[in-house]
Amino acid sequence: MIDALSKLRHTRVLVVGDLMADRYQWGDVQRISPEAPVPVVRIEREDVRLGGAANVAHNLAALGCGVSVCGVVGDDAPGRELAERLAALGADTAAVLTDASRPTTVKVRVMAQQQQMIRLDWERTAPLSDELTAGLLERLESAHAGYQGIVVSDYAKGLVTEPLMGGLAKLAAKHGKPLIVDPKGVDYTKYRGATCLTPNAHEAAAAAHVEGDRDGEAETLDTARRLLKSLALPHLCVTRGAQGVLALDGAGEHRFFPAEAREVYDVTGAGDTFVSVLGALMAAGEPFFDAVAPANVAAGIVVGKLGTAAVSPAEILNAAEGLPRLYTAADIAPVAEALRAEGKRIVFTNGCFDLLHSGHIQYLQESRSLGDALIVGINSDDSVRRLKGAGRPVIGEADRAHVLGALSFVDYVVVFEGDTPLELLRAIRPDILTKGADYTVETVVGHELVAEYGGEVRLISLKEDRSTSGIIDKIVSGHRTGK
């Protein structure tokens, strides 16, 4: 999996589909309206995220892929904002066209107490005009050498028509590129020529025209085989929610992958994440079943996040190892951004944490009690040697990170290479920076930075006679005296 995910930084994927803006309005409910028996949501903040095919592009960018986007937006403010956000991801938007006759699709979700209260949609689902379809295909043909695979995200908003899919299938076959499709509707004949479809179990049953309870493995497999045969597909994945994923190929091989979710907060965008990881890995040349496994892990991660979200390679690897909270410096910034978007109060602390002892435990527990999420930065082995000398650390960085990540009150662990955590502080922008009470606020590295954006430094009292150096001295002394 490490080797497979490392290929993604050298892979470019074309995303074709319905571009949408997901607008979240976050608030609080404390009363029922006197006008009607409905809760009154007092809105406190709002954020806008990429949705639909735009979320697929977001996921691919988070994986490290190059991204090209093909779609249509309206001649309106949401459309211009979508184009700007895609460009900010580094995506090539040359094939994003404007259609003044239709609005940009916008979904507004009103959230309170971490629950969705209502959703409001602005959209037009009429099929794309023949003229616009021809224009899109012309641009994609001229740019085919710039990407290794195609992912189609069909949300039934009118872009993914039979003519467009037929053109994409011919383009993919002509240039030998995998064509991965997240389908919609009950008529899948327009997807003929695709390399792989990724419907959920309900969608697959409807498309295969089967009725009744189809949740069991045997029934799901029967449904999938019907679809595979009728569409002459090389590959098919049926996502089964809490039951995992069924993957099968035209040669008759099939595998059931168990669900990987540890906590489920919101299933929004899980299909986007699955098709993104699967499509990226197949574009990178990974065998089909080897690509399904990380995609399944990634979908299990994203349902633990609120709203449409993306997953990084580090998160996939850590979750696959059963260590979901270990991050690199490059990965932690979007995590912190997502926490802020959810209104979480972020606490950050750092140290070597070599030979974890009760003093460390007390310190970390008190730090966590100051906020909603604790991010711990630990010095890399090279950094510890520069600070502590050639004999340190006693415990390597991977083991130190794993031990800290196993603590219930530590939410995220990041290994950093520098002698100070300033780079991490700039990326995370914590609400609270903690350090031991043997420091003063003025001697804490980064206190000026935190103060600039309105954060604060808190000093935590330390247990007396508890230190890693003291433990090491005691061990060495006992060894010398034979005790």
Decide if 438 is catalytic: no
Q: What burial class does residue 189 get, using C-beta atoms within 10 Å of its C-beta: 0-12 exposed, 13-18 middle, 19+ buried?
A: exposed
E-assigned strand segments in 399-449: 412-416, 432-436
Instruction: Answer whether 31's CB lies under 8 Å from 115's CB.
Output: no
The Cα 79–Cα 104 span in angstroms is: 5
Give the three-state DSSP class for 345: coil
H/E/C letters for each residue in 153-209?
ECCCCCCCCHHHHHHHHHHHHHHCCCEEEECCCCCCHHHCCCCEECCEHHHHHHHCC
The Cα 57–Cα 66 span in angstroms is: 9
Largest CA distance in the chain: 88
> How is residue 103 annotated by DSSP?
P
Give the three-state DSSP class for 377: strand
Sign of CA dihedral 473, 474, 475, 481: positive
Q: Which residues contact 279 (CB under 8 A, 6 or more apart)?
A: 13, 60, 149, 150, 151, 178, 180
Instruction: Answer whether 19's CB lies under 8 Å from 97's CB.
Output: no
Which of 363, 365, 342 has the alpha carbon at shortest distance from 352? 363
Instruction: Answer whether 13's CB lies under 8 Å from 61's CB.
Output: no
The Cα 292–Cα 286 span in angstroms is: 10
Which of 370, 315, 294, 254 has the alpha carbon at shortest distance from 4? 294
Neighbouring CB atoms inside 10 A of 34's CB total 7
Choosing from 18, 272, 331, 354, the catalytic residue is 272
Instruction: Answer whether 244's CB lies under 8 Å from 237's CB.
Output: no
Which of 271, 269, 207 has the alpha carbon at shortest distance from 245? 271
Q: Say how far residue 294 (Cα) sits from the centre of its chain.
A: 12
The Cα 27–Cα 14 span in angstroms is: 36
Annotated catalytic residues are 272
